[in-house]
Amino acid sequence: MRVKIHHEGTNILIILAVALLIVLLPLWLWVDVVAVPITATVVLGVFYLLVVNFFRSPKRQFTGNPENVVVSSADGTVVALEEVYEPEYLKCRCIQLSVFMSVLNVHANWFPVDGEVVFTKHHPGRFMAAYLPKSSTENERSTVVIRTAHDQLVLMRQVAGAMARRIVTYAHPGVEASIEDHMGFIKFGSRIDLYLPLGTEIYVKIGDKTTGGITEVGRLQPKK
């Protein structure tokens, strides 16, 4: 089965492959104890495959009912589900639903709802562990707000983690958002926060596993 690599990882994988060859070649040429280059090759080979796994870019198609659906923006585990006040853009109480991505998860991010992007902003910050609650407001992060066809606002926030050092956001105001499209990519361990209107029907609970672009995490209710 052919593995598709996300374009964010192409250069990294090429550079890493060259670097590993530079390390391994002298071991095979000049080290007499054959166990040394064999062990090094196995260890570095496994490491390289883990990086390849990180940059997978699976093609996914949502097959459920798209009407008012909210899908997970990332592969991972639900780590937060609570009512909070969102101060940056929505400036109201809403439901925060957060998914933590480990280094073993696909790190492409999908739009959670269909609609139009109306706001984006990148925030510099710290690199605490992404599963900590304070990471949502203190870590490096990028905010994207989408207005649905029924005039409801959904805020999505990409949050860097302890290992993440680059957040990539493709969205910008005026872009059409689709739950089947990538919104961005976070490199090496992170989380996605969704801020949904109060009254949204939630289908997941803390500890549940999600698949980006596929798992229905909720459904927006018609505005009164």
Are 176 and 40 contacting, i.e. CB atoms less than 8 angstroms apart?
A: no
- Cα(26)–Cα(117) distance, integer angstroms: 52
Token digits of residue 54: 């990180």
Select from 51, 34, 12, 153 the least CA-distant residue to 95.
153
Q: Which helix (H) or strand (E) holds 207?
A: none
Known active-site residue 190 = yes
Catalytic residue among 98, 135, 136, 190: 190
**φ, ψ dihedrals at 175, nearest 5°:** -75, 140
Runs of H (alpha helix) within 69-205: 135-138
Question: Which amino acid is located at 219 in the chain?
Answer: R
Q: What is the DSSP string of 177-190?
A: E-TTSEEEEEESSE
How many of the other CB atoms lie within 10 Å of CB of 212? Answer: 27
- Cα(142)–Cα(122) distance, integer angstroms: 4
Are 112 and 194 contacting, i.e. CB atoms less than 8 angstroms apart?
A: yes
Give the catalytic positions in this structure: 190
